[in-house]
Amino acid sequence: MTDLGTVRARLREQRIETASWAYGNSGTRFKVFPQPGVARDPYEKLDDAAQVHKFTGVAPSVALHIPWDKVDDYERLAKHADSVGVSVGAINPNTFQEAEYRLGSVCNPDPRVRRKATDHLLECVEIAEATGSSIVSLWFADGTNYPGQDDICARQDRLAAALSETYDALGDGMRMLLEYKFFEPYFYTMDVPDWGTSLAHCIALGERAEVLVDTGHHAPGTNIEFIVSSLLRLQRLGGFHFNSRFYADDDLMAGAADPYQLFRIMHEVVSAGVLGEGSKVAFMLDQCHNIEPKVQAEIRSVMNVQEATAKALLVDGEALRAAQASGDVLGANAVLVDAFNTDVRPLLAEVREEMGLDRDPITAYARSGYYDKVVAERVGGQSAGWGA
């Protein structure tokens, strides 16, 4: 049976990184929707992220996106993060919003464009060193729309060259995570379309290159937990970008569309023993809150991941293994379903009390008055956003 003391300890140790871009204005291809009180610079983004950690206790780091979060002094930015109770997390380069990247960035047929893109990756390694970050997280929008548009194999060679140069520049203790996406913005080929392509490049680079799984970057029906389990088995799962989707890259709140899938993914993580302190797997949110309030949405997303984790920790491992060994198909499935159907909200409320937090983070945040405060203070200037 599951030891509740151990479950509580693991939940207290959990760490979920939020992303700076979640605190800016965002939208769809049709419209970016402004909201009052939205952060106007990276410093205010960190202030907002600190509220998520303040009320959940498990979100102590914030991923940055460059140049969306570009500042003159990154050491100063890191000190500000520390002063509000968080730290700088993964550094994410942007190689998809420059006009020159119309035909790709590091895979572009023009060597001058490839040089510009690679130099930006190297810049982000330097920013990681300046901020104390240990992760450079790469996603490339590179691809083609038409057969014959470019040499598919040559594009892989160009990608490998840029990755190799960036990997060689990593400082001690730093890792490179390579994300994949099966379509968008290109629709004939994407240069890193799946976990196999990402894994092949990571293996060629070395042990500090690992695959990043974005839960929205899959076709409907894809068995994401199989991918997660396979990468864990090979010790090449670097981290997650958690979000939720009904169709593809919807970037909705984690657990909103299919909480059972999130539970199944976390079951594989728990089974592999890579949850909590000492784990190399980075648990990050990658979401855009277009119509919902941003800080509240991040708090809710963290809570959703916590609930999926708690349920995964409550799976009766002994009963599951016994049912699997005896070929009891229904019995094995029932063990998982029973854990998923458990209401873990009272357990998580107790864990928060043990951590000196309010049992209900959403209500506590609303009661704090922070939202009304920033709406009143953040008047004038340009709200942060996608830069689109």
- Rounded Cα–Cα distance for residues 104 and 191 (Å): 9
Tokens of 90: 């993964």
Q: What is the pLDDT of residue 292?
A: 95
For the chain, domain boundaries: 14-307
- Rounded Cα–Cα distance for residues 382 and 335 (Å): 52
Q: What is the pLDDT of residue 387?
A: 58
Cis ω before 67 (30° cut-off from 0): yes
Neighbours of 326 (CB within 10 A): 10
Q: What is the pLDDT of residue 1?
A: 61
Q: Which of 105, 29, 42 lies closest to 74 in space, CA to CA?
A: 42
Find out whether 285 and 92 touch, Cβ atoms under 8 Å.
no
Q: What is the pLDDT of residue 33?
A: 87
What three-state secondary structure class fits 103? helix
Q: Which of 216, 269, 222, 224 lies closest to 244 in space, CA to CA?
A: 216
CB contact set of 38 (below 8 Å; sequence gap of 6+): 23, 24, 25, 294, 378, 383, 384, 385
Q: Which of 384, 387, 345 lies closest to 47 in space, CA to CA?
A: 384
- Rounded Cα–Cα distance for residues 367 and 215 (Å): 32
What three-state secondary structure class fits 222? coil
- Rounded Cα–Cα distance for residues 262 and 122 (Å): 34
Q: What is the per-residue pLDDT across 89-142, written as a single tens digit (0 to 9) for each? A: 999 999 999 999 999 999 999 999 999 999 999 999 999 999 999 999 999 999
Phi then psi for residue 68, to 5 deg, are -55, -35
**Rg of the chain (C-alpha set):** 21
Which one-letter amino acid corresponds to residue 51?
A: Q
Strand order in the sheet with 282-285: 18-19, 61-66, 87-93, 135-138, 175-179, 209-214, 237-242, 282-285
Enumerate residue ranges in the chain where pLDDT < 70: 1, 386-388
The CATH code that applies to domain 14-307 is 3.20.20.150
DSSP 3-state percent helix, strand, coil across the chain (nearest 5): 45, 15, 40
Q: What is the pLDDT of residue 385?
A: 81
